[in-house]
Structure 1
Amino acid sequence: MAVPPRFSRPPSRRGGGLTPRPGDRLPLLLAGLVVIAALALAGSLLVSVLRGFGADDSGDVASNSDPSAAPSVAVPGASTAVPGVPGVPAASSPGTSDEGASPLGEPYVVCLDVGHGGFDLGFTRVEEVVDEETGESVETIIATESEIVLDMAFAIEERLETQGVEVVLTRTADSLVNPTGEDVNGDGEMATDGDGDGLIDTPNVDVPNNLDELQARVNICNAANANLLISLHINGAENTALQGYESWWAEGREFSAQSQWFAQEVVAQFGTQFADAGFEVESRGAQDDRDTEIPEEDLPADAFVNYVVLAPDKPERNFSGSTMPGAVVESLFLSNDTDWAVLDDPAGIDAIVNAYVSSVNAFFTEFPIEGRRLSTGESQSVDTAETRGMATPDTDASTIVSPIPVATAVAYARLPPPVETDLESSYVVETDATDRMEVALTFDCGADRGYTEQILDLLDSYGIKGSFGMTGYWAEDNADLVLRMAEEGHMIFNHTYSHGSFTGASTGAGDPGTAYRIEEMIATEELIAEITGGYDMRPYWRPPFGDYGPQTLLDMASIGYGITVMWTVDTLGWNGMTGAQVAERTLETLQPGQIVLMHVGYGAQGDFDALPAIIEGSRAEGYTFVTVEQLMQP
């Protein structure tokens, strides 16, 4: 149908994203562009999709600006299903739950709405590439908005969570938020599963219901009781001269003033961060999303006035709106050569991530919420840690509501003596530590409190000792659980303080240097010793992202960390794998000396769900479970 100028907002096409992973490209040949061509035909409809315009939301648009979330996204406090979102747990209010409560207050919660996903690629960057076999120049997709924006979300999530902010993503994998095409908003209209395979995943055959996609994403943010919603997008246009960054907020809502403040702040931060990084980038400003050439009274009764993810309830469409301030943000034009050079540069991506993180911090400083806290992101001293709630011999850790001095912490039962390590040497262990039928379950603790208590309970019920990779930030917020791990005989190894890359390989930030690496390790080492009454994690450590090099290993050995704990299998629970998928992946690779990498956070629900199957399946094959330290014994 014809789209009024108000909704097409020419000449821009709605988008959303970050930069590609370093060196990551999608070399699809011309045949693959048939799919993209179909999506491009709907380019003028993208804004109407985002706003939910018209009575037929399924339309014939395979690409919309908002639908995109993994079916297994978990949110803080998850216990039951998010209303209308298949497979997505709901969240209890972080502000009311006692679990994981800190004497300093509950953390703020940010919902990152990750644009596109699945066969909805969003905007794409197409360039002429020489086919190595034929020598001919072929139009090839080198970057997609859907992949770029997901990478951006992960980077922002990591940065914010190290600063004590809980982050919920509407998708954590390359899929739609409503992959099975459920009638999420209950209006009787559903997606079309053209090939009958139960999934909305085939371009030009399956047709998503756009309003259900958008409602599913809003449901995730609402269920998480988020304090701020940020819809991450990248712009694009047929006019390749258009460039710059911009943001949009929804006028007419009870918290519109806060939304406007954030939209303006993120634009200001983009300007600052780009300038600091040496980039000259155009600002397109922050705008009210109701600005229009069509008077509101001339619009159809069921038309959305705002972008759907920012809109209030719309009874005429059976739509439940978002319940928190927020903004739609467009970080540069994928279609513009100058903007693309910034997006394709790690320094440019770092500037974008910095802008988002700084904006969030500024927002919660400007609009503080009683009972919530915001970390500065700086390493806190042991004196600060001493004010955190801790367990005494007669205290149930889950009931701690007031600080107890660290001096009251009890001694733990030490695990087998550590392997003797020459400080001038280093050993990296992945799977060859032993030929015995032994498996070590390792759990990285770097994000939220997550399922840690349940994991400890489950391990105890099976009589298994786990190995926990500990970051300083996590330990500060969860001292009671750190103490419990030590008291119950689990292994704790150093996973740095703030989970920053020790080489810069995964973040594009460059080598942080020896001083940074040593400071990160020592700060965590001292904090864990204070919390537990003397637990010594040496010589075991695990590098964030698995990033290490010769200098890193030398630095670690010089301070007593001569054994680098890697892994045999990464379960990918953190990346949206379900419990069944995690169990299958782990059991398929079962071998003597296997080290399994898992995570405790809510974002890795699949890891927790898979534990019983992994334990029972491994034992059925004759394997026993030990800590990494025990695995290393002769």
Structure 2
Amino acid sequence: MQKYGVVAVTAVLVFLACSMPAYAADGYGWGFKKSDDHNIPDVGKYQQMLDDYGAYYADHSGEKTVYLTFDNGYEEGYTDDILDVLGKHQVPAAFFVTGHYVQDKPELVKRMADEGHIIGNHSYHHPDFTVVSKENMQKELADLEEEVADITDQKSITYMRPPRGMFNEETLGWAQELGYTQIFWSLAFVDWKTDKQKGWKHAYDNIMEQIHPGAIILLHTVSSDNAKALDKTITELKEQGYQFKSLDQLVIKDHLPEPIYGY
């Protein structure tokens, strides 16, 4: 099972190696040119697709907000440390978990929920949703949600991240119909290769070079670099005036009615 987890997690960000969005026979692989000017990356035609189906990859309000998200396909022993740092700084995060992770590390999933973090749906078996039926996609999401509800007080899941970063208009529509908000990302780097970690400064520098107002940051908890860099990263971003918020705050704010001025 661990070998499967390594392959699955590796596949999630393979498209980020390309500077432009990647195309597959039945879908798109989430990707974009990395931001190097502290602005939200341009994702081209993807933007309209996400808008049409209520999906997110960044907060476009212009506010200096940051949203930390982690993908959890398997465990390398760093998630406790990451949760300790988040607790120290009172920073919320979202953890997108798979069925393997929930079965293998239920105590960590429970700790995430108990400490006020969001548990997101990364599917049960990590399939490419663009090559399965709507019924199969629904089962993948429902089975994961049931596993999480069995061990935590979070009885429903609102947010999902498509396995392998694969999507198309059909899967975006299916997710919306099933009551999920899809969460992509605007800041990421190759952090999942556990045998090629480069030290905490590599992770820190990657985040600082790409950071921008409204960033949804994707990190993997299998990275020792991330675990070691997180404390300094949060401290520095706060000093720069960034606020760390939860996905709930992003989505609720986005759906508030426009203020009415005058009488």
TM over 0.5: yes
Number of the residue aligned with 1:430: 57
CA distance in 2, matches of 1:619, 1:549: 36
- For 1:455, the aligned partner's letter is I
SS in structure 2 at match of 1:574: coil
Superposition pairs for residues 42-81 of structure 1, below 5 Å? none
Shift in CA distance, 600/159, structure 1 to aligned 2, threshold 3 Å: closer
In structure 2, how many angstroms separate the alpha carbons of the residues matched to 1:571 and 1:607? 11
| 2:180 is the alignment partner of 1:556 | no
Q: Structure 2 vs 1, CA of residues 160 and 534 (structure 1 numbering), >3 Å: closer, same or farther?
A: closer
The one-letter code matched in structure 2 to 1:627 is S
Judging changes above 3 Å, is the alpha-carbon distance between structure 1 residues 427 and 615 closer, same or farther for their aligned structure 2 residues? same
1:353-377 superposed Cα distances (whole Å, 9 cap, x missing partner):
xxxxxxxxxxxxxxxxxxxxxxxxx
1:467 alignment partner AA: A
Q: Secondary structure at the match of 1:444?
A: strand
Listed as ranges, the matches of 1:316-331 within 5 Å are: none
Q: Secondary structure at the match of 2:120?
A: strand
User: Which residue of structure 1 aligns with residue 69 of structure 2?
Assistant: 442
Counterpart contact for 2:57–2:185, Cα < 8 Å: yes
Give the Cα separation in 2 of the matches to 1:440 and 1:156: 25
CA offsets per residue over residues 532-576 of structure 1, 9 Å max, x none? 1343212x1101121111111121112111x21011111321144
Paired residue for 1:596, among 202, 217, 225? 217
**How far 1:530 sits from its partner (Å)?**
1.4
Q: Which runs of 5+ in 2 are unaligned?
A: 11-24, 26-51, 254-263
1:158 aligns with 2:2: no
Structure 2 CA distance for partners of 1:159 and 1:459, relative to 1, 3 Å: closer
Q: Pick from 183, 186, 191 the counterpart of residue 565 of structure 1.
A: 183
Q: Distance in 2 between matches of 1:430 and 1:537?
A: 18
Deviation of 1:452 after TM superposition, in Å, equals: 0.9
Q: Is the 8 A contact 1:459 1:465 kept in 2?
A: yes
The residue type equivalent to 2:191 in the other structure is G
* Structure showing the higher helix proportion among its residues: 2
How far apart, in 2, do the equivalents of 1:588 and 1:534 lie? Answer: 35
Give the aligned partner of residue 206 of structure 2: 585
Secondary structure of the structure 2 residue equivalent to 1:484: helix
The alignment status of 1:541 with 2:160, answered yes or no, reads: yes
Q: 2:114 aligns with which of 487, 498, 504?
A: 487
- Asked if structure 2 preserves the Cα contact closer than 8 Å seen for 1:571 and 1:596, the reply is no
Q: Distance in 1 between matches of 2:197 and 2:189?
A: 8
Structure-2 change in CA distance of 1:598 and 1:159 (3 Å): closer
Match of 2:233 among 614, 621, 624: 614
CA distance in 1, matches of 2:5, 2:120: 26
Query: Does the alignment pair 1:531 with 2:148?
Result: no
Return the alpha-carbon distance in structure 2 between the equivalents of residues 461 and 533 of structure 1: 22
Letter in 2 for 1:439: V
Higher relative contact order (CA closer than 8 Å, sequence separation 6+):
2
Structure 1 counterpart SS, 2:156: coil
Aligned match of 2:32: none
Equivalent residue letter for 1:596: I
User: Once the two structures are superposed, what CA deviation does each residue of 1:186-211 show, in whole Å capped at 9, x if it has no partner?
Assistant: xxxxxxxxxxxxxxxxxxxxxxxxxx
Matched pairs, number: 210
Q: Secondary structure at the match of 2:92?
A: coil
Distance in 2 (CA, whole Å) between partners of 1:520 and 1:156 is 16
Amino acid at match of 2:203: V
TM-score (ref. length: structure 1) = 0.31
| Cα drift, residue 591 of structure 1 | 1.5
The alpha-carbon deviation at position 515 of structure 1 amounts to 2.0
The runs of 4+ residues in structure 1 deviating greater than 3 Å are none
Residue identity in the other structure for 1:593: G
Q: CA RMSD in A?
A: 2.4
Contact 1:438 1:626 (C-alpha < 8 Å) held by counterparts = yes
Structure 1 residue 499 corresponds to structure 2 residue 126: yes
Give the aligned partner of residue 515 of structure 1.
Answer: 135
Give the SS at the match of 2:102.
helix
Normalised to the residue count of structure 2, the TM-score between the two structures is 0.73
Give a deviation string over 1:37-66, Cα, whole Å, max 9, x none. xxxxxxxxxxxxxxxxxxxxxxxxxxxxxx
| CA–CA distance in structure 2, aligned partners of residues 627 and 453 of structure 1 | 19
2: distance between equivalents of 1:478 and 1:609? Answer: 21
Q: Assess if the C-alpha contact under 8 Å between 1:434 and 1:631 holds in 2.
A: no
Q: Which has the larger radius of gyration?
A: 1
CA contact (8 A) 1:442 1:467 kept: yes
Secondary structure, counterpart of 1:442 in structure 2:
strand
Offset of 1:159 from its aligned partner? 6.1
